Chains A and B, each alone.
Chain A
Amino acid sequence: MNDKAFADATLLSGGRQASDAIVTMKSVVKRFKDFEALKGIDFAVGRQEVVVIIGPSGSGKSTLIRCINRLEQHDEGSIVVDGTELTNDIRNIQEIRKETGMVFQSFNLFPHLTVLTNVAIGPRQVRNLPKVEAERIARELLERVKIPEQADKFPAQLSGGQQQRVAIARALAMKPKVMLFDEPTSALDPEMINEVLDAIKELANEGMTMVVVTHEMGFAREVADRVIFMADGEIVEVGTPEQIFDSPKEERTKKFLSQIL
């Protein structure tokens, strides 16, 4: 990656300095056996910034955000989240995981626990809050994602859209400083996509810092402060939604956008 691209990738929106970043990645490399999934990623997310990552499948988008909370271990480079560097030290990892919430493509709710317990489990078991307090937080969040009446059901009794909103509430219950969304609508039936996107938009409007991997271009345009286009394990182009969607500079970006739009 040339110097210009590096500067682009780490420059925060609104002309803020990199020191204002909550997540910083420097020359991060991730390999799966012989395959290089991330080829030296430089990347930063500012506080209250919404970064949307797009790109063809297999381009390393998911791997990138899974490195931020150590679901994947990077092989080279450094990752710093909220001033804590990700090392092999389990305490650092736990510290960072407490500060980052993640929403998965396949929801990954705990099927043996009620919706309420699913949401309360973080505050109760990680933050060690009393049960009453944890459940109060959980009910509040279920209210916020507009499904308070489902609290006592089990995940399997809910629709996909409702499940994903529970998953969002579960991540929020930890009061994270950054939310990571890994293709949150890809496993949903079309008619349920909007209810989830609306919940995420609302979060963005409230000033939550977010990194979103998605294929929903309309959503990306609407909600993103910055859009990052990735291909083959590299960041190819970075810019405001207008720059990326209306006047992409790189050939690969143009080709990708012409294929999906």
Chain B
Amino acid sequence: MKKWLRENLFRSYLDGVVTLVSAALAIWILTQLWNFVFVTGRWEIIQVNLKLLLVGRFPEESMWLVGLSMISLAFFIGLAAGSLRSTGLKSRKVTEIAIDVTRRFGLLLLLAAAIIYLAGTLDALLAGLQVFAALAVGRLLGGLKTTITWLKPIPKALWLALWALLPIASIGFTLSVASLEEWGGFLINFYIAIVSIVLCFPLGILLALGRRSSFPVVRLLSTTYIELIRGAPLFVLLLLAGVALEFFIPPEIAPDVIFRSVTVFTLFTGAYLAEIIRGGLQSIPKGQTEAGKALGLSTVKIIYLITLPQALRNVIPAQIGQFISLFKDTTLAGAALSVFEVLNIGKAITKQDDFLGQGMIYESLAFVALLFWVGSFVMSRESQRLEKKLGVGVR
């Protein structure tokens, strides 16, 4: 212990000073944070407006739909995670599983627990448990060897289509019961992000391939598109989507703001993703393509069997980074298009009669930030795991 301290924290006078100063700083920040969270913070503003922040003015009688879509999403995520482990279910001790789950999803669980505690209803607790159970059941099913053989005959393309359709269908479904004015909150940030991610991914791939294409017209179009979009601030594009469409489409049938935000986020992130994927494609040695050609594989097969899978895997960190920033940027849709998303609500609730002029903006913003931070953190950690898992046998 003493030796470790000397070797790592107090190797020289300068080291010692740096250590002491950082320690003091850390302690000060932590006490301030502790103070804010447990002493001075007045969290009743969150407690009272919890439902508004999370799902907007979603009709009470249709809340089960939100639960259902969360549960099915959790189930599918579990199934995917389970089937990624091609080795099947390993018999592990319960304690090992518990440690693993806590390490990976501890923060998420903590946040869920905090929200359920704030909600203070039995329904919230039950919903939380159901989502967790769905995730666990999906994971177990996905890990079973028998399930894998049973699922194998389903072509990959169908799987992909299913994946793409799931969030879009659940949006349509949700919209059929709750009107746009009623629907909002963090749920809308989440949905805009998920749908945009699902849609921008193929767009990014097509644009990346287009920019490397040997057809000059395709190359020119892709390059122009990518450079135009990347040259414009996202906020400006969102504002444009709010007004410019009126030039072309009569206001009565103009698409709603959510549709517009999804479109802008998809087109915007697609351009960035294209450059990331193009970078990945460039990192694949020429020999890979040549080996494919020498075997007689067609150009299309060389791309989707050989270069693209390797390229996508090489750029997982950058792709996830882009998705994380898309997730957080959904708050811009509130400011630019008045989408009733969580940040908009977070600001609005401080103007309620009960809380007006009491400086509640800290609590409100802190809660919004926490939601995004936990989401981003889990995404980032899971991407690192995915990277490791897919990296089997590489160099």
Which residues of A line the B interface, CB within 8 A?
69-71, 94, 97-98, 100-102, 104, 106, 108-112, 121-122, 125-126, 153-157, 167, 170-171, 174
Contact = CB atoms under 8 A, between A and B. Distances in A.
Given A104-B290, A112-B310, 14 more contacts: A94-B298, A102-B291, A108-B290, A108-B291, A110-B291, A110-B310, A111-B310, A111-B395, A125-B297, A125-B301, A126-B296, A154-B392, A167-B291, A171-B295
Given A97-B296, A101-B294, A121-B305, A111 B287 contact: no
24 contacts: A69-B293, A69-B294, A70-B293, A71-B290, A94-B298, A97-B294, A104-B291, A108-B288, A110-B291, A110-B310, A111-B310, A111-B394, A111-B395, A112-B309, A112-B310, A112-B313, A121-B297, A125-B301, A125-B305, A126-B297, A154-B392, A155-B393, A156-B393, A156-B394
B395 A97 contact: no
A94 B296 contact: yes
A157 B392 CA distance: 10
Contacts of A110: 288, 291, 306, 310
A81 to B, nearest CB: 12
A102 B294 contact: yes
Nearest to B295: A122
Interface residues of B, number: 21
Given A110-B306, A112-B313, A155-B393, A71 B296 contact: no
A120 B115 CA distance: 52
A100 B392 contact: no
A114 to B, nearest CB: 8
Interface of B is mostly: helix
Contacts of A71: 290, 293-294
Contacts of B392: 154
Nearest to B298: A94
Interface in B280-296: 285, 287-288, 290-291, 293-296
Contacts of A108: 285, 287-288, 290-291
A106 B296 contact: no
A104 B287 contact: yes
A102 B297 CA distance: 13
A98 B295 CA distance: 6
A162 B63 CA distance: 60
A105 B293 CA distance: 16
Interface string B352-395: 00000000000000000000000000000000000000001111
A100 B393 contact: no
A94 B302 CA distance: 13
A121 B293 CA distance: 12
Nearest to A98: B296
Contacts of B305: 121, 125
Contacts of A157: 393
A170 B393 contact: no
Given A104-B287, A108-B288, A125-B305, A97 B393 contact: no
Interface string B298-320: 10010001100110010000000
Contacts of A111: 310, 393-395
Contacts of B301: 125
Interface string B68-111: 00000000000000000000000000000000000000000000
Contacts of A70: 293
A101 B295 CA distance: 7
Given A154-B393, A156-B394, A97 B293 contact: yes
B312 to A, nearest CB: 10
Contact of B295 (A97, A106, A154, A156): A97
B295 A126 contact: yes
Nearest to A66: B290
Nearest to B395: A156
A141 to B, nearest CB: 14
Contact of B296 (A153, A156, A174): A174
Contacts of A106: 287
B297 to A, nearest CB: 6
